[in-house]
Amino acid sequence: MKKTVAIIGGAGYTGGELLRLLVHHPNVDIAYVHSNSQKGKYIAEVHPDLIGDIELTFTDRVEVNGLDAVFLGLPHGETKNFLSKHNFDPKTVIIDLSTDFRDESDGFVYGLPEINASKIKTAKRIANPGCFATAIQLALLPAIKSQLVKGSIHISGITGSTGAGKKLADTSHFSHRNNNLSVYKLFTHQHLKEINQTFLEISPKFDHELLFVPYRGNVPRGIWITAYFKFDGNLEDALKLYKDFYSNATFTHISTNDIDLKQAVNTNKCILHIQKEAGQLVIHAAIDNLLKGASGQAVQNFNLAFGLTEEKGLKLKSIAF
């Protein structure tokens, strides 16, 4: 049951990760990979680790017919314009990795499988969540839905440099990132919008502050989240709540032991660890920002949309050490 797919914007980090997953996906044939900046080049020239895996070249032409699915890896703000110029068949599943449709406008479904799997299974347009948004929501969804939160939620998050994209900037150079940490977009990160949207959907009376401190980390990939809020209950009940909530989640796991980032890097997992300290419920979350936070989750959504098991093409090995 092969599905014919295309990738639009395949030269960047998320496009490269999609290629690494899809070339080995048993139910995928890649029709073409689009890139204006790399047109005519062999894909393995731009993504050298794919040597021997794919012989296609990048194209700047967009074919809208004959596709079962198209993955859009365009820069934020460019997808709406792209879709206005290219009319894909209504039967083609469109999976967008940008911020453009995470508000579920224009018929898009928000693609967080842990809460929207049933919608994703019938969707033709899927808006992939942001990387920080994925980790923060998975850390807090059970608590929000069960109305455990009675006040402000404090969140700190560290992201790898690949989260800034492939285009170089002052804060993504090795010389800046290495042996360094810095805060950016204090309390104003753009992913808070989609997080609040989800929280209001599952708990309509939710009105608590999300005090989010994002850090630029000195690792290339991965996201670490620590979230906490005042909690009068006991840890055992909280653990049961989380385990029950994610009992059918293919990739979200609760660990009763301390966790570390490398457990999740190079996988599509979200690994959670819960503590109660000083009257606070503390939730730690670890994901790979390019996989569960982007391309891996996009493939997970593809699998759901085509009736495949969620782990198809996503049985990946963590780097561990």
Tens of pLDDT, residues 243-269: 999 999 999 999 999 999 999 999 999
Alpha-carbon span 201 to 265, nearest angstrom: 30
3-state helix/strand/coil string of 222-277: CEEEEEEEECCCCHHHHHHHHHHHCCCCCCEEEECCCCCHHHCCCCCCEEEEEEEE
Please confirm, yes or no, whether 131 is among the known catalytic residues: yes
> Counting Cβ atoms within 10 Å, is residue 307 exposed (0-12), middle (13-18) or buried (19+)?
exposed
Q: Tokens 């920080």 sit at which residue?
A: 132
Please tell me which residue in 131, 261, 286, 291 is annotated as part of the active site.
131
pTM for this structure?
0.96
* pLDDT in 10s for each residue of the chain, 321 residues: 899 999 999 999 999 999 999 999 999 999 999 999 999 999 999 999 999 999 999 999 999 999 999 999 999 899 999 999 999 999 999 999 999 999 999 999 999 999 999 999 999 999 999 999 999 999 999 999 999 999 999 999 999 988 777 776 777 777 777 889 999 999 999 999 999 999 999 999 999 999 999 999 999 999 999 999 999 999 999 999 999 999 999 999 999 999 999 999 999 999 999 999 999 999 999 999 999 999 999 999 999 999 999 999 999 999 888
Write the DSSP assignment of 84-110 as a string of letters: HH----TTSEEEE-SSTTTT-GGGPEE
Alpha-carbon span 220 to 259, nearest angstrom: 19
The number of beta carbons lying within 10 Å of the beta carbon of residue 313 is 23
> Which pair of structure tokens corresponds to residue 260?
């570390």
Sign of CA pseudo-dihedral 149, 152, 158, 163: positive
